[in-house]
Structure 1
């Protein structure tokens, strides 16, 4: 069996730290990605028809879970509907995530 000699210990330790960090980051990324996909797959949506005077904020207030921040619900509505901004107009239909019971 061939023996290896470490010539530069600092470079070796930096390499080991980099490898450990890379593995940890990769595992964390895939773990969080899988969790998010699982959570999103179990969410039910309701189609809401927009009337005159409706705002995303008002819709979020109506459908948000109890004791949750309305800003989180607004962000979910924006993400689900792939909205660049929060402008809606009468006649639009948007998907709203329903509360978990």
Structure 2
């Protein structure tokens, strides 16, 4: 004699299935160690005085890695120093990451 279960509320059943899948995913995440955070990398900076005729592009070319994207390097310089390219003036001191 087999007893068949009847789903009385599709919404409750769907919610139950979603919660079970979420629980299984969370447990698998913890079990596999996917929740471990990487430690922050230490970035060393150097101070560079802006000379007449310098641009963010030329400073980035001088101090950044050869294999890095120059546009990304200019963006990072602007972000680190809280400036835009138009605000760059001779005599300013910029923090430049040393790679």
TM-score (norm 1): 0.62
* Large movers: runs of 4+ above 6 Å: none
Number of positions where the alignment pairs a residue of Structure 1 with one of Structure 2 = 81
1:42-57 map, 5 Å: 42-57=42-57
Computing the radius of gyration from Cα coordinates, the structure with the larger value is: 2
Q: Secondary structure at the match of 1:65?
A: coil
Which range moved further: 67-76 or 89-98?
67-76
Q: Secondary structure at the match of 1:38?
A: coil
Report the CA distance between 1:11 and its aligned residue: 7.5
1:1-101 map, 5 Å: 7-9=9-11, 12-13=14-15, 16=18, 20=22, 35=38, 38-39=40-41, 42-83=42-83, 85-87=84-86, 88-99=88-99
TM-score (norm 2): 0.63
- From the two aligned structures, give the one with the greater helix fraction: 1
1:82–1:14 distance in 2 versus 1, CA, 3 Å:
farther
1:6–1:97 distance in 2 versus 1, CA, 3 Å:
farther
Structure 2: state its 5+ residue gaps: 1-6, 30-34
Q: RMSD between aligned alpha carbons? A: 3.2
1:51–1:90 contact (8 Å) kept in structure 2: yes
Structure 1: state its 5+ residue gaps: none
1:6–1:12 contact (8 Å) kept in structure 2: no
Within 1, Cα distance between the matches of 2:76 and 2:56? 11
